[in-house]
Amino acid sequence: MADANKESPKKLKKKTAADETQLLYLVTKYFKLAGVTLAVWFVGWTRFSPSWLLLGLVLYLWKERHVKQRHRRMKMMQQIAENEKEVILATVEDLPSWVHFPDRERAEWFNQIIDQVWPFIGDYVRDLLMNSIQEKIQTSHAQAASFKFLKIDLGDIPPRIGSIKVNTKNVKRDEIYMDLDLMYGSDADIEMRIKGMTMGIKDLHVRGELRVIMRPLISRMPLFGGISVFFLNNPDIDFNLTGMANAIDMPGLSDMVDTIIQEQIAALMVLPNRIDVPMVQDLASLERLKYPLPDGVLRIHVVGAKELIKADVGLLKKGLSDPYVVVRMGAYKFKTPVINNTIEPTWNSIFETIVDAKEGQLLDIEVRDEDPGSKDDSLGTTSLPIVSAAEKGSEDTWLPLEDVKTGRINLRLEWMYLSKNALILEKTIKAMESRNKLSEDLSSCLLMVNLDSARDLPKNKYFDGNNLRAKKTMSEPSPYVKLSLGQSKEESAIKADTDEPRWEQNFRFLVHNPNLQTLELEVWESKSKTRIGNLKVPLKNLLVEPDLIVDKFYNLVNSPSPKAQLRMRLCLRVLTSEYSQADIEEEEEETPVETLQSTESSVDPVAQQSSTPQIKPADKTAKAGPAVVKKVEVVKVEKVNKVSNKPPEGQLIPPMDSSTPIKDSDVRQRKSPSSNQGGLYGRGRIQITLRYSTQRQNLVAVVHKCVNLIPCDTDDNLADPYIKMYLLPDKSNKKKTTIIKNTLNPVWDETFEFPVKQADLSSKTLEFSIKNDTSFYTSNKKFIGIARIELGNMDQTKAATHWFDLQPDEDDCKPVSLPSETDF
């Protein structure tokens, strides 16, 4: 028994080891507790607030949770890209759209093609980022001037097309619309450097609705003339940051980076921005690709909200919110003012946005609570398709806010059609003015500017201190253009080292009143930061153009180069809430593309000899340039909104006031006064438009152009013409055009007004004296020609455009009468 009670040496050894382990554990626990106690004592001794430790703990946990969620989401997208079937069977989330929508189809054949060509697409995107996007980022902000891509690897996982939908409704027979559900969960690795810091992006995730338009369809390879690619709405974007950027990869700061990247992508290919690629050059019908016409303009009236949640809850808060609304549509973003301390705000804010694709685009609404010093809280979101408002014309609705318990927002939407009928402008302006205070924020027209190119810009000069010194070899300029209309300002891209830049950029402006506003352009040299010319175009001049479109070269003023010119295509459209199939802008049904030719016709039969090269019109109805010789027969137009295949020789414009009733049949076309292109006296001819404004009690004269003037300068057999105007017999009210250098076919398109009572108009004579700008020391001719027009038989109910021959004798000039109604 004694032997049994004795513990074996092996057991005693285990017991001794356990005691030592227990002792070591107790000693370690003591020192841990002592260390914590010492740390607490040290924090108290230094008066260091422990809340900083708690704040660091919160930020650490927040970041770790945020990063894990992002990794899990990106891993899911990569798995879908690699094996879609297994992932779909394993989860019911993030299903592709073809599962839900029967009008969409899977595109596995297309995904296999993308997988095969993905390495080549990667090379193309790399060149695009290096050669184009990098320059745009560098010039977008002064802080980004040192930006540079170091590494661009799009990875081995190609994007997937979840589904494809081919639109067959509301499209023309010579175009194809495809909507692609793009899913890109890539293992991309992109590195960049800015201000000496290296940072990167990896695991890029993009998902959005991509629209591809192929038009016009042609009967030869590649079967379509061009392709346009763009996102209908802002895509969902996610990524991981590397390098120095990883330090800010936490909620709040990473949201700011996401917003910056989202804005850059929106500026590249979210409507109204798009990527256009012409597939066939010199195709007559590519205007629809180069000058895409919007579907319309949407007026968004954010009225108010009710039953919002109380976001400001605390000791010093009143248990309310400080709400404001953010409205997004494509790349556009609007924000209402903040209304403090309320859950039932009334904003009464109105915005206008240009809609390029009413079918497919969404209006995203987010209500937020302003919290200065921290991230603003979300009070709910909602969205609605724009097509519903476009079909109804107007809509007043209360929308429930999502992702919150309570909340509703009141929106009033109004759809505005685009019309090329200038007769309805006065009605649109009156409808705006009836809204009282809100009328200041409304627009009556849409101006589309296509900045095409420039020529003969001055060479660049070098600065030596404060003195300008021209060197022997002048460098080519790097020009760009600043455009402004009212408070709206735009800038073109910089074209490096060329005096004949080609921008081919589109800009759009909402116009409050074209009778009062002017488009201003300034051409700047980017390297020396000097202005090399400017230009002003009154928008009221567009109202006299056929279809409200003009495409021509404009002479730059205040430029060191007297021949510097800027080519633009201007298109004005009147906004109207009333749909009329005859008036609303619709693209004409295309004939086979191979038979389309640019029509060389004009409002005037002008001689071939011209100092300005011939310019083809931008579309079939646009007015051609000054060097056109094709003659047009007299055509009588019964209605202004009827489209004629032949451009008019004389275009009547509508009066700008509504004091006299106007009929569509008042707009007619007229044969030019003389078939002799040099005029009856061989001095040239002048084209003007006359109308009388009963509302302002003014005679309005629009000086369009002169043709085939006599040479006056002995050195180059040209002239520097300008026009002086008087309303006789009183010569006190003198008007003068600008001087056009070195041309015998000047184009002004300038408008002048003479105050005169309606009863006195019949006794007045309008004089146009065309002169050559000369200096005191030259022997150049001063006088070119003169025309005097009796206004006795002027029809004051409408406006008309006429040609007049210039007479050689200023003293013996015989006044001519305006053509009467029987001359039509």
pLDDT, tens digit, for every residue of 447-487? Answer: 999 999 999 898 865 434 444 444 444 678 889 999 999 88
Low pLDDT (below 50) residues in the chain: 1-6, 462-473, 582, 585-675, 821-824
| The residue to which tokens 């398109």 are assigned | 749
Residue 101 lies in a domain: yes
Alpha-carbon distance 471 to 17, whole Å? 94
Residues 215 and 250 placed together within one structural domain of the fold:
yes
Residue 545 lies in a domain: yes
SS3 of 19-37: the string is HHHHHHHHHHHHHHHHHHH
Q: What is the pLDDT of residue 298?
A: 93
Residues 284 and 301 placed together within one structural domain of the fold:
no
Report the relative pairing of strands 816-817 and 783-790 from DSSP bridges: parallel
**How many domains is the chain partitioned into structurally?**
5
Residues 751 and 649 placed together within one structural domain of the fold:
yes
Q: Mark which of 255, 290, 325 sits at the end of a domain.
A: 290
Q: Which domain holds residue 22?
A: 15-48
453 forms bridges with which residues in the sheet?
502, 567
Q: Rg of the chain over CA atoms, in angstroms?
A: 35
Residue 259 lies in a domain: yes
Q: What is the pLDDT of residue 286?
A: 62
Residues 275 and 318 placed together within one structural domain of the fold:
no
First to last CA, the chain: 143
Residue 31 lies in a domain: yes
Residue 735: name the closest of 707, 781, 699, 685 by CA.
699
| The residue to which tokens 């285990």 are assigned | 14
Residues 255 and 305 placed together within one structural domain of the fold:
no
Kind plus residue range of the DSSP H or E element containing 67 = helix 51-82
Confirm if 355 and 294 have CB atoms less than 8 A apart.
Answer: yes
Q: What is the pLDDT of residue 635?
A: 31
Tokens coding 473 = 């070899």
Report pTM: 0.57
Residues 143 and 282 placed together within one structural domain of the fold:
yes
Q: How far is CA 680 from CA 291, 746, 770, in A?
A: 41, 19, 16
Confirm if 352 and 327 have CB atoms less than 8 A apart.
Answer: no
Alpha-carbon distance 325 to 302, whole Å? 8
Confirm if 447 and 550 have CB atoms less than 8 A apart.
Answer: no
Q: What is the pLDDT of residue 323?
A: 92
